[in-house]
Chain A
Amino acid sequence: MTHLLVLPVLIPLTAAILLLLFRFVPMARHVVIVVAAVSVFVVDLILLSTIQSEGIQTYRLGGWPAPFGIILVGDLLSGIMLVLASIISVCALFYSFGYLKEDGQRGVFHPIFFFLWSGTNGTFLTGDIFNLFVMFEIMLISIYSLLTLLGDKKQVEAGLKLISMGLLSSALFLAAVGGIYAFAGTLNMADLAVKIKPHAGHPLIAAVAMMFIGVFGLKAAMMPLHFWLPDVHSSAPTPISAMLSGILIKVGVYAIIRVFCLIFVDLQETFQVFILTLACVTMFMGAMGAVAQTDLKRLLAYSSVSQIGYILMGVGFFSVAGMGAALFYIISHGIIKAALFMAAGILKKMKGTTEMSAHGNMIKISPMYTLFFLIAVAGLGGIPPSSGFFMKFQVIKAGLDGAFYAPVAVALVVSLFTLFYLVQSWQKVCLLEQKEAPESGPSIKLLIPVGVLALLCLVLGIAADPIIQLTTAASQQLFTPELYIQAVLGAM
């Protein structure tokens, strides 16, 4: 029995506890952070390659067999999400050393950050719907404290919004889980899939599925439920903004994919129009919001809402190509958006604000910064050779293959807006003359993670083929849920 599958949850948890205990010993803390971050990254890569070569992995927590105990399941989707989470987390951690000044801030920041990482990895690995709820709570509680850590007035206000959102979604999630448990008498997702299959037409199942869309849509900032996101993502400390937009809103999408490709397989067609409509509205309204912003971080936050629409659209096609495109979109957008938020954070460090009118002339101050920013802008705008081209191309191609012409038209129009607001913000920050020059340029500590992410965006674009193969394989695996069920419950 290999313990590989539990390590992505265990290592960050160990690190968090050690960091709490060594809070007053800075040297020991640095060692723990570096060792833990590197080992989680390596373990995630090994895990992904194991899943690729040996198929779906399972791990019984506490030794209890399915469907009674909690099972950790690693399929290709989980593996991809884990690797993406670790790439962004490592960059955010590195960035946090340059971003948080005092040692006191870091002493609190890093343990909670590792709890957040552990919870995120747990969400991607768990095969139990109630455990998914628990992992969501670990994530949310960590975000509450990380968000309000610096005690800024805006952050406390955003914290209040996030907590109301979190309480609402948790209550709804719990009610949905209760409903499905009352119906099927099990919480194991694979077992649920088996038990619900013969009753797919039952109205309670449709109601529960709708509630899950509500809960996960709230987390993923799907349109009518996006109200909390712009405030939270723009006022959070920048490493956390990068985590939030890079990986944590995708957790909601991940959960939608998981329940609709496993438990509610037969309801896919029923909800298709609903999901696609919401995706289009999300895409369009998010872009409209972004165009109107003067603050770079708020603009990026609205842009995240808009981009989630694209991902949901890929999911909503419910085809192998569409799901594969959505997965590629998740990877690519995560990397690019994290880079953009970190670039915005550098501006915040230089002048204390992210208002675009306060900045300018970055091309003279720091050409490297301008270049990295431009790569990320090109990425999100969908210009080759960045990975952004392939992410948009694939979603649109999947839509045309499935003859969904209206969503594709919306996606094309919105991508024009995306390019418009991004290029405009880049031009304002980097090219326009500035009245008063800042005292110093961006610090190299902050530039390195942005550069790494920008480079990754280019690499993903130039060497897109292996990644597309991977996401397509993951999508094929998702559309044969029998594999997952068999891996968890054994031959039945």
Chain B
Amino acid sequence: MSSIIFKSIVKVVSPILMLFSVYLLLRGHQLPGGGFIAGLMTSAGLVLIYLAYGCERFDWRNRSRFFYFLFSGGLALSFLTGMAGLFVGGFFLKSGFTHMHMPLINEDWEFASAAIYDIGVYLVVCGVCVSLMTLLGEEK
């Protein structure tokens, strides 16, 4: 798999994939996109890197605990957003949003609690995909 052509393509493609996934994550509140699809896209980028370079640049296997806590933490983050809805808004999973004026660019930005929930989902998907990949890619 790890021919020079593949490696060179991955070098170009995976940063684009990840940037685009962040874009998808952030627009997901109002438009198509969101945590799940963005997480999948980021993991696709990571899988490409893993396929091309294996463990020569980054030791995936010994970082398995990091990815474990990535998805547990993401789950906790999403859950806490729901709980915040319970304590602040009066219902579990109640969401809210606020508009804030950004001083430098002079624009109104919308901040929604659903975005935090989405980031949690994003972390879960990334963590699970990478954990799966390293587990299945392991040589026994």
Binding site for B on A (CB under 8 A): 1, 3, 6, 10, 13-14, 17, 20-21, 23, 59-63
Contact of A21 with B91 at beta-carbon distance under 8 Å, contacts A3-B86, A14-B79, A62-B85 already known:
no
Query: Which residues on B sit within 8 Å (CB–CB) of A59?
Result: 91-92
User: Range of interface residues on chain B?
Assistant: 10 to 19
* Of the residues A1, A13, A14, A20, contact of B91 by C-beta under 8 Å: A1
* A21, A61, A63 — most chain B CB neighbours (10 Å): A63
Q: Contacts A20-B75, A62-B94 given; 11 further ones with Cβ under 8 A? A: A1-B91, A3-B92, A6-B86, A17-B75, A17-B79, A21-B69, A21-B76, A23-B72, A59-B91, A61-B93, A63-B85
Q: Is the CB of B92 within 8 A of A10?
A: yes
How long is the Cα–Cα vector from A21 to B80 in the complex, in angstroms? Answer: 14
How long is the Cα–Cα vector from A14 to B91 in the complex, in angstroms? Answer: 16
How long is the Cα–Cα vector from A60 to B85 in the complex, in angstroms? Answer: 12
Query: Which residues on A sit within 8 Å (CB–CB) of B85?
Result: 62-63
Q: Is the CB of A62 within 8 A of B79?
A: no
Closest partner residue, chain A, to B114 (CB atom): A62
Query: In residues 64-112 of chain B, which contact A (Cβ within 8 Å)?
Result: 68-69, 72-73, 75-76, 79, 83, 85-86, 89-95
Q: Is the CB of B90 within 8 A of A63?
A: yes
Closest partner residue, chain A, to B79 (CB atom): A17
Q: Is the CB of B92 within 8 A of A6?
A: yes
Closest partner residue, chain B, to A1 (CB atom): B90
* Of the residues B68, B75, B83, B89, contact of A63 by C-beta under 8 Å: B89
Task: Give me the 3 closest cross-chain CB pairs, A-B, nearest first.
Answer: A63-B91, A20-B72, A62-B93
* Of the residues B68, B73, B91, contact of A62 by C-beta under 8 Å: B91
Closest partner residue, chain A, to B72 (CB atom): A20
How long is the Cα–Cα vector from A60 to B69 in the complex, in angstroms? Answer: 32
Closest partner residue, chain A, to B65 (CB atom): A24
Dominant SS at the A interface? helix
How long is the Cα–Cα vector from A59 to B92 in the complex, in angstroms? Answer: 9
Query: Which residues on A sit within 8 Å (CB–CB) of B92?
Result: 3, 6, 10, 59, 61-62
Closest partner residue, chain A, to B68 (CB atom): A23
How long is the Cα–Cα vector from A17 to B81 in the complex, in angstroms? Answer: 14
How long is the Cα–Cα vector from A72 to B89 in the complex, in angstroms? Answer: 17
Closest partner residue, chain B, to A70 (CB atom): B93
Dominant SS at the B interface? helix
Q: Is the CB of B73 within 8 A of A60?
A: no
Closest partner residue, chain B, to A21 (CB atom): B72
Closest partner residue, chain B, to A22 (CB atom): B72
Closest partner residue, chain A, to B85 (CB atom): A62
B78 CB to closest chain A CB (Å) equals 9
Contact of A17 with B93 at beta-carbon distance under 8 Å, contacts A3-B86, A62-B85 already known:
no
Q: Is the CB of A13 within 8 A of B79?
A: yes
B27 CB to closest chain A CB (Å) equals 21
B138 CB to closest chain A CB (Å) equals 15
What are 19 A-B pairs at a CB distance below 8 A? A10-B83, A10-B92, A13-B79, A17-B72, A17-B76, A17-B79, A20-B72, A20-B75, A21-B73, A21-B76, A23-B68, A59-B92, A61-B92, A62-B92, A62-B94, A63-B85, A63-B89, A63-B91, A63-B94
Query: Which residues on A sit within 8 Å (CB–CB) of B76?
Result: 17, 21
B117 CB to closest chain A CB (Å) equals 11
Q: Is the CB of A62 within 8 A of B95?
A: yes
A488 CB to closest chain B CB (Å) equals 16
Closest partner residue, chain B, to A3 (CB atom): B86
Query: Which residues on B sit within 8 Å (CB–CB) of A62?
Result: 85, 91-95
How long is the Cα–Cα vector from A13 to B90 in the complex, in angstroms? Answer: 19
Closest partner residue, chain B, to A111 (CB atom): B72
How long is the Cα–Cα vector from A6 to B68 in the complex, in angstroms? Answer: 28
Closest partner residue, chain B, to A6 (CB atom): B92
Closest partner residue, chain A, to B75 (CB atom): A17
How long is the Cα–Cα vector from A457 to B73 in the complex, in angstroms? Answer: 42
How long is the Cα–Cα vector from A12 to B95 in the complex, in angstroms? Answer: 22
Query: Which residues on A sit within 8 Å (CB–CB) of B73?
Result: 21
How long is the Cα–Cα vector from A13 to B92 in the complex, in angstroms? Answer: 13
How long is the Cα–Cα vector from A17 to B68 in the complex, in angstroms? Answer: 12
Query: Which residues on B sit within 8 Å (CB–CB) of A21?
Result: 69, 72-73, 76
A14 CB to closest chain B CB (Å) equals 7
* B69, B83, B91 — most chain A CB neighbours (10 Å): B91
Query: Which residues on B sit within 8 Å (CB–CB) of A61?
Result: 91-93
Closest partner residue, chain B, to A13 (CB atom): B79
How long is the Cα–Cα vector from A20 to B123 in the complex, in angstroms? Answer: 15
Query: Which residues on B sit within 8 Å (CB–CB) of A3?
Result: 86, 92
How long is the Cα–Cα vector from A206 to B140 in the complex, in angstroms? Answer: 53
Query: Which residues on A sit within 8 Å (CB–CB) of B91?
Result: 1, 59-63
How long is the Cα–Cα vector from A23 to B64 in the complex, in angstroms? Answer: 14
Closest partner residue, chain A, to B71 (CB atom): A20
Query: Which residues on B sit within 8 Å (CB–CB) of A13?
Result: 79
Query: Which residues on A sit within 8 Å (CB–CB) of B89?
Result: 63
Closest partner residue, chain B, to A24 (CB atom): B65
Closest partner residue, chain B, to A18 (CB atom): B76
Query: In residues 32-90 of chain B, which contact A (Cβ within 8 Å)?
Result: 68-69, 72-73, 75-76, 79, 83, 85-86, 89-90
A9 CB to closest chain B CB (Å) equals 8
Closest partner residue, chain B, to A7 (CB atom): B92
How long is the Cα–Cα vector from A3 to B92 in the complex, in angstroms? Answer: 8
Query: Which residues on B sit within 8 Å (CB–CB) of A63?
Result: 85, 89-91, 94
